[in-house]
Structure 1
């Protein structure tokens, strides 16, 4: 008895698992059931039951740095399961999680050239790691705000006592600074008006919701908090009333960072007694919670942050003591040719979010790292995750890191070398089809291949599908060339390529044939051939 047997609990009499999505996949020819995977290859069965190999350039959205079912990882997983490793042992000692945190710290310290230590909060997915980061950043912001505001009531009381005792005076100029008429009225009643106004203004600032800075084109997940940091309005707008408030900054305008910060700045008002006078002091309030960004935007179209932009991020955030959260969920774990893509542009984070390939292609694992001088131990009491920090996932992560670090980081060198070979092929295609290929972007094995806009194509079949053009192309490449790739979620004309480091020259050549075929179709505007029976 199996799932196809009538009456079996789960027999497919009615499609219940995301039926609309399955129908849409069928419309573009991507509704394939894969039955086996190894390396860079997925297999499905044809009508006769034979296996059909497909070169997988989607790579689990960047989760398969070491390939499908990496033999060393699978061997470890089998031994762990055969040995009865406890998966559910929450609220106990987890030395293996500490080992993962230690290994990550060793790698970060080497790559960043620092002795800074990072505390680790484990999670299951990239979006969950981002949620943990923004929650921790908000806890830290609130605690800093409280620490800043706490002495003010005492300072007001001390100033009141000094005024009553004749040890200090209150000038009309001070009153005028807070909007009162700058008169000579300097009695206790005037001070009480001043104290009430300071309290009112400070309470208003403290009650303001936090603001997050991020980038146009950003994608940080689709959970309640992370989706508000995702630029694509289609994902964000339906839930805009629920969570974090974000300000989206153009990635080609470094000067815009300062402009946005200036528009959001706020102050707390304090008083001190200096030289026998009551003086109002303005203190910068931490209203901007964090700057969250991807060093290489994945879903936004494989856009690489420039060194100039990174430097301005670092400068402005340091000026206002705003933490930087680096979303390395897709770009990290060696995919760029370095362990952290941000290190290639000199960008350092107070937080790092890592996931995808950390699980070795089989475990659902992620981690949020917080620099120790920002870490709040209180976070551990208000945040937890049932499936985080389990032994199975941690031991797999340790194996992944061991494989990446082996032979003095051979995996990183492979990512750079294989990425350069893939990019060289892309550039060759672009040189022959400059009217069809708009741009090639990315680093290492995180590359984007952008076609020219087809919204005004001569072919009605192409023009009518311009809104999800990349999926139509992906369906064609799968159908005709046994190539698996997808467009980026927010840039329909950009195909993503994120294969494993074991990508072969033959696989690159197979992709080149497919891309040249597609480019020829677009040049000839042979829409019927591109769309085919799938759409």
Structure 2
């Protein structure tokens, strides 16, 4: 007889979070507030600075979106009518094109591919980029074969040519050179895709996207299932160039001039994609610098490597512009959007593909049952309408609220510089990084920090003592992430600052009892 299992979903995770008071049931939500079920059954209001990991820019249950969704259901809107006309999906992509053209001052169209989550959107970009790379390989192979055929048909068979580029004698026979070219190119064109991502980056936890996520714990158990990425340090332009130079693969061509044939080096199309987040979310809320963004753009063009800009967390207006990358001048070949584009009510992603790279044949080899459904795309269209209303008024609100939040956080840091070492971010995507707590006086904090768990203790303290909901970032556990909605108030920001001051004071004093008192007296 087997023993009864208490929880069949995330039991281990829930037991771990229970130790620091994060095992809370939330029963209601509106705006920037969630209501926790209190021990007496009442709802306890909590300011939500986690924001659904960035998916709630407009807040919980935005009334206009709730009404829109209710109306869709009341009208018996068809949800799953695959292979039919989908006007809402088309409207979403057309609006995204208008926004992109405005923010980047370009006019090239981008095609849209829908999926169900951010990680799936990344996989769409990877699949399309590899599909495109395969066709570029085929095109180069055919072009070289045509050039070789032209050389041989021009009567050069039996003649000699300089084969030193291939390590052959200067007077090598053309036939010998051609054979060596074919051997070398067969190996070059069989080279697997080169994927480049950034240290600290996070792009999902699916089979392909997981190998682009820098966190070793997320990647290593599944490394055998997908192509591996090479990671370059963020914000180090020369290091990124070195990665590209090291990964390049040479193919060889035979070109005919008026007087002779010569062997020419060419870069084989081995680069599938370079993935970047304008602001690294899970890596500790680290914005890319404009200098690094420029290098990304230049290297992508130089090496024929498409740039995939992951705007899953930073996009859809959170940083004060629709695309955070627009503030960096980083124009991508692909953009992946998710999270806030669903307004907190729908789950979807949109991958935008630049027309110059788009392969229409991709539509015949990629599909998804639930992508581009009638409800999610209609909600996304309504979200974009809200964001664009009033000449983009909500972008300005996000920028202003972000400045207010950042100023409050910097004030706390100035008071406790030995505890908080950095405050950084863009708009309503901010991070608070704690320094080395081994000298703080708190034995408990130092121990938990060494285990990568301090951020969760801090989250539990702020939740129960100050009614503030937040978490540390997934791959930088010393950094608290702050992603509130545009509805965040001055009172909530001030309450957050008060809570952080109280936390820092306890750490400075080494008051472990004060840090954990909430566990015994918690009300929810």
> TM-score, normalising length from structure 1?
0.93
1:175 maps onto 2:160 in alignment: no
Compute the displacement of 1:288 (Å). 1.4
Tell whether the 8 Å contact from 2:465 to 2:518 is kept in structure 1 after alignment: no
State the alpha-carbon separation in 1 of the partners of residues 157 and 9 from structure 2.
Answer: 75
Tell whether the 8 Å contact from 2:440 to 2:509 is kept in structure 1 after alignment: no
Tell whether the 8 Å contact from 1:418 to 1:445 is kept in structure 2 after alignment: yes
Correspondence for 1:516 among 501, 512, 517: 501
State the alpha-carbon separation in 2 of the partners of residues 397 and 177 from structure 1.
Answer: 55
Secondary structure of the residue aligned to 1:120 is strand
Secondary structure of the residue aligned to 2:203 is coil
State the alpha-carbon separation in 2 of the partners of residues 162 and 344 from structure 1.
Answer: 54
1:490 maps onto 2:475 in alignment: yes
1:258 maps onto 2:250 in alignment: no
Partner of residue 7, structure 1: none
Partner of residue 477, structure 1: 462
Partner of residue 96, structure 2: 104
Specify every segment of 5 or more residues in structure 1 that has no aligned partner in the other structure, as ranges: 1-11
State the alpha-carbon separation in 2 of the partners of residues 270 and 531 from structure 1.
Answer: 69
Partner of residue 123, structure 2: 131
Compute the displacement of 1:325 (Å). 0.7
**Deviations along 1:86-133, whole A, 9 cap, x unmatched?**
111112111211111111111111111111111000011111111100
State the alpha-carbon separation in 2 of the partners of residues 165 and 463 from structure 1.
Answer: 75
Correspondence for 2:211 among 228, 241, 246: 228
1:431 maps onto 2:419 in alignment: no
Compute the displacement of 1:457 (Å). 4.8
Secondary structure of the residue aligned to 1:464 is helix
1:150 maps onto 2:142 in alignment: yes
User: What are the within-5 Å matches in structure 2 for residues 195-234 of structure 1?
Assistant: 195-234=178-217
Compute the displacement of 1:238 (Å). 1.4
User: What are the within-5 Å matches in structure 2 for residues 295-374 of structure 1?
Assistant: 295-374=278-357
Compute the displacement of 1:451 (Å). 1.2
Secondary structure of the residue aligned to 1:465 is helix
**Deviations along 1:373-425, whole A, 9 cap, x unmatched?**
11001111111111111111111011100110111111100001111111111
Correspondence for 1:94 among 68, 86, 94: 86
Partner of residue 4, structure 1: none
Correspondence for 2:57 among 65, 79, 93: 65
Correspondence for 1:46 among 38, 52, 59: 38
Correspondence for 2:28 among 13, 20, 36: 36
State the alpha-carbon separation in 2 of the partners of residues 32 and 253 from structure 1.
Answer: 41
1:82 maps onto 2:74 in alignment: yes
State the alpha-carbon separation in 2 of the partners of residues 424 and 279 from structure 1.
Answer: 63
State the alpha-carbon separation in 2 of the partners of residues 165 and 113 from structure 1.
Answer: 53
**Deviations along 1:349-388, whole A, 9 cap, x unmatched?**
1110000011010100110000111100111111111111
Compute the displacement of 1:470 (Å). 0.6
State the alpha-carbon separation in 1 of the partners of residues 490 and 442 from structure 2.
Answer: 34
State the alpha-carbon separation in 2 of the partners of residues 114 and 162 from structure 1.
Answer: 45
Compute the displacement of 1:277 (Å). 2.3
Compute the displacement of 1:259 (Å). 1.3
**Deviations along 1:239-265, whole A, 9 cap, x unmatched?**
222213222111231111221111111
Q: 1:456 to 1:200 in 2, by over 3 A?
A: farther
State the alpha-carbon separation in 2 of the partners of residues 425 and 276 from structure 1.
Answer: 73
State the alpha-carbon separation in 1 of the partners of residues 146 and 290 from structure 2.
Answer: 46
Partner of residue 6, structure 1: none
Q: 1:239 to 1:13 in 2, by over 3 A?
A: closer
Correspondence for 2:276 among 282, 288, 293: 293
Tell whether the 8 Å contact from 1:155 to 1:272 is kept in structure 2 after alignment: yes
Partner of residue 504, structure 1: 489
Query: Which piece of structure 1 moves more, 42-51 or 297-306?
Result: 42-51
Tell whether the 8 Å contact from 1:213 to 1:246 is kept in structure 2 after alignment: yes
Partner of residue 261, structure 2: 278
State the alpha-carbon separation in 2 of the partners of residues 402 and 153 from structure 1.
Answer: 52
Correspondence for 1:525 among 499, 502, 510: 510
Compute the displacement of 1:534 (Å). 4.4
Secondary structure of the residue aligned to 1:121 is strand
Secondary structure of the residue aligned to 1:140 is helix
State the alpha-carbon separation in 2 of the partners of residues 267 and 255 from structure 1.
Answer: 21
Tell whether the 8 Å contact from 2:470 to 2:480 is kept in structure 1 after alignment: yes
